[in-house]
Every structure is written in C-alpha cells, then in structure tokens.
Amino acid sequence: MELRNVAIIAHVDHGKTTLVDNLLKQAGAFRANQNVAERAMDRNDLERERGITILAKSTAVEWKGVKINIVDTPGHADFGGEVERILSMVDGAIVLCDAAEGPLPQTKFVLTKALARGLKPIVVINKVDRQDARADEVLNEVFDLFAALGASDEQLDFHTMFASGRQGWADLTMDGPRKDLSPMFDLILSHVPAPTVNREAPFAMNATILEADSFLGRILTGRIEQGTAKVNMPVRVLRQDGTVVETGRLTKLMTFSGLDRVPVDEVQAGDICAIAGLSDATIPDTIASPEVAEPLPAIPIDPPTLTMTFRINDGPLGGREGKKVTSRQIRDRLYKETEGNVAIRVKDSEEADSFEVAGRGELQLGVLIETMRREGFELTIGRPRVLTQVNPETGEREEPFEEAVIDVDEEFSGVVVEKMSLRKGMMQDMRPSGGGKVRLTFHIPSRGLIGYHGEFLTDTRGTGMMNRLFLGYQPWAGPIEGRVKGSLISNSDGEAVQYALFSLQERGTLFVDPGAKVYTGLILGEHSRENDLDVNPIKEKKLTNVRASGKDEALLLTPPRRMSLEQAIAYIEDDELVEVTPSAIRLRKRYLDPHERKKHARRAESEAA
C-alpha cells in the first residue's frame, strides 16, 4: 500500500486537534454509532482540562487506497522535545494558522524546525468563519515569516488552503463550496511525497516516542527508515555513539488505524509503527537488525533553560494527604520521567532528600508536578531558576532570553511596556493589530518572565495575550527586582479561625479559609508592606458574660486569593517553597522556625556583602 506521513503543526489553540478529529471522522475511522469524545486525540486528563496537546500522538487513515499517517504535535515550545522528534518521522507538514491571530511565536518555532528538515509545508488558514478573521492579511504574514526564516524558493511556493476545523471543511479558495475536508486529503496525496526508503536493506528505525504500558512494557514508536520489521525478529539497540545497549526480539508490532494500535506480523520501511519487547531502549536510540553497525542520525535536542528543586514534604502535615512521600519514591518517579521525556534532566541535589529537575519552561515542569500530584505524591518545590552558561570566547556569563509577543488593547500598552522594561525587556517592535489592539514584541531574559503572567492578566483586565519563544543565550542582563510585598506567616499550629482572619485581612491579602490547617512557617497571605510579618491565625475571641445581639455575625471575610500550581510556583521567593499534595497546594517558608529563618537571612546578607 502507498504511504504518506504528515505532521500537523501550529501555535497553541489554533485548532490542530479539532481538525484531526474531523479528518478521522470523514475518512471513516469511526463507526457511525461510535461515541467519540471531543478532541479525541487529547486522551490525557491534563490535556483535556487545559485544552492543550502535551504528548505527540500518531494516527492513520486510508484515503483512495493510500494510508496517511497523521501526527498531532504539541504547540507549546515547552514541549519542543516532542516536536523535533516528530518532524524526523514525516515527509510533509500542515502548518495551521488562526485566521484572526496570525502567526505567533510557536508557529515560528515549529515552522523553523520544519523548514530546517527540508519539508515543504501546506499552509492552512484555519477558523476563517471567525467574525474577526482576516485571512488574506494572515496569508501575507505567513509568507513574510517563511521568507524571514530563510525558506528556499521551493518552500516559499507553498500550497494554501482555507478551512474551518470545527465545521469540518477546507477549500483551496475562500469562496469554495465549503463541503468537507476531501480537498485537504487530495492535496496531501498530490503534494506530500511518499517516503524514499530502501526496503531491501537490513531493518533499522529511530525511537521517537516512548510510552509505558502495564501489559506490554515499554512501547517505542518511530518510522522504519530501512528494511522490514517482523514479529520475533532479533534486534539490537545502538546509542548515538555506536555502543550496543541491549539485544532482544520484537515481541509485538503495531501500526496505527484511526485512534487504535493494530497488531501486525510485519511492517515495511516508510511506515510508522510501535514495537514492544525491549527493556532498555530509549529516545533517540536506533533499533536495528544485528548486522547494522552504525546508528541512524538523530535530532539534537535543545538544552533545558530552567531548573527547580523537588524535595520531600518535611512540613508538619507531611504524609497525611499523599501515598508516596519518601525521597526514594520521588527519585524513581523523576528518573522514570526522563526515559520518555528527553527535554527533562534530573540530578541528585547537594541538599539531602532533594533533586534538581531541569526543563524547557514553567509549563512543562508544572505539568510534571501536577501529574505527580495526581499520582499521590507529596512534594515541596523551590523557586524556578534559569540555567546560565559561560561564553568560551568572551568569558562572559550568559542567560537564556525569550521573544515575547504581546497582544493588548491600546489603553493597556503603556503599563505593559513599563513592566516589561523593569524586567529588562527590550522592545523590538510595536504595531497596530486591528480592532483597537497593539502587538508588542520584546526580547527579555527568561527570569524576567517568571511570575509575570498573573500580573500581566491583572494589568490588562484579563484581555491581554502573551506568547513566548526561546531565543538563545545572551549576556547576563543584571539584577531584576522580584516581588515587592512580604508574606503573612503563621506562628501557630492548628486550624485557622474566622475571628483571627477577620482581624488579619486589613494587614494584606489572605490565601486561606477559616478551618484550613495551618502550622508555624505557613504563608497565610501577602503582606501589604514589603516585610514579612508573623501572625496568629488561630486566635479565638475571648469569652465574656456580656453578649451584644448580632455582633458576632458581622465578621465578613473577603474571599481568599486562590492560586493555581503555576501561579504559586511563580509567586514564591528564594526562601519559600510550594507544598504540593494530592488535596492541597500551600505556600510555606523554607525554614519553618522563625529563629532559623533569621539566622539564614543574616548569613545570606553577609555572603551577598
């Protein structure tokens, strides 16, 4: 059977997964009466809740006798490790772009990778049924982006389609019949080349996706570059330096059909398949016949830019809410994560019972923490820190920089520019983007954006949009002022009392409800001033024999400020931690005892001096 391998790449929320849903439906991948969830490709709970794709997934449909392997990729640059590997499996790419928002940083990110692979993308302007759609302008912006990224003449001569993934149609022109997605299938068959492979050579493939299955063990997915894979054939696993990691047999072979993996006896070169039976093979190892001596070339992975400390929960409430609380359990889980997620690196910290976890961004590490929390782990997490390097030529200290593209209403542009400049952001461009909005482009140190997103949403009344993209390493930009307000810290253990919280709320913004468990060193709220303040949240009202009717009912509390996991991690300072358990997210001081805190603060001041 003829083959086509194609990836769908785009910015976050531009409609990739919804489009794949409709491609599957119209190609007959589902039964007429089959109950299929919306965004069927996002099978992970976190993906459904956040409305984003985190893990790359493969599917396949048949159209006019040709098998089309379709890979849905993440749009966030934090999951770039997935995108890079996926593009090595395909021969064509569909670049999806929102008809109103136009190309955004992650469009640029995935397109850069696709063009570098020599792919000739098909550009699809999606969501043309939006009221604020500006399809022709966006098409020009996409062409300018191709040119700016150094696309070849052949790549610049790309095919264009206009579509509505939600309504399930695509056409070559804006005024087409708008019936279904068959024009897109036909364009894939005519424009995406069939894989050029040698089926007579010995079997070899690169592992590009790794999953764990409770029945089959490790499942490795990738494209067979040469030869034919057969069930039970002997293979060996080669690392990139040519060392043999293990030898074994392919106990199970599976190809894709719709959303299902289908067992088969053999798979030929060019097809994407999943294999089971190997215990040590990982990404991007080469799995090959015993006679193959050289590993296949693999894509270098961009290095991590951010690190966090994962510790055991050593607070007074530790071990009460989770099932997995020991450092050994945390260590095993983190090292298991590195097997399938090549963008994450873990090493044991100098501090006891803690680990340094490095990744591509706050979102990626936040997803890992949330996954562990749901698995029953208890952790404490330190403030994110950027990974610096020394330039070998100049000897200068360098830090990661990002390009931030911000869309805001004109009235809020002033405050955004002011806040970004305080965080060492340098404006590169400012232009109107229609509808009374302005698009601002900044180059800013990654650490300048830590904790800014919540403040940004407050400043823009929730209407602003900020997208970021890793630029590279540049000279250290100097000190950046952190949080200006101090913390309200509990000096007692017990349960927070409404009477005590009522008197505390004039001191700042509270984070806890009456009845919440508190302990010495727990952060109850944000102080209205810049210093930390120890307070008593369990102080009861003194009882007297005098009663005034109705007086006790007048204790009205302002609702506490709720923080998501990412907001909490971005909020804390260096001497604070986020306590994460299956049922709660709390903020606390690193040293719970006030005398211990003062001692370490004095030591830090003397070292700084």
Annotated binding-site residue numbers: 13-18, 126-129
| Residue position matching structure tokens 């900020």 | 466
Asked if 360 and 304 touch (Cβ cutoff 8 Å), the reply is yes
554: Cβ contacts below 8 Å, ≥ 6 apart: none
Burial class (CB in 10 A: 0-12, 13-18, 19+), 179: exposed
**Does residue 193 have a cis bond before it (omega within 30 degrees)?**
no
Q: Assign 513 to helix, strand or coil.
A: coil
* Centroid of chain to Cα 97: 19
Residue ranges for the binding site for GTP?
Answer: 13-18, 126-129
Give the residues across from 317 on adjacent strands.
Answer: none
CA-based end-to-end distance of the chain: 72
Q: How far is CA 67 from the centre of its chain?
A: 30
Residue with tokens 């610049």: 156
Give me the phi and psi of 446, to 5 degrees please. -55, -35
| Segment holding 523, helix H or strand E | strand 523-527
CA atoms within 13 A on the CB side of 222: 29
Q: Helices in 117-256 by DSSP H: which ranges?
A: 135-148, 153-156, 182-191
Cβ-based neighbours of 607, under 8 Å, separated by 6 or more: none
Nearest C-alpha neighbor of 525 from the set 507, 502, 499, 500: 507
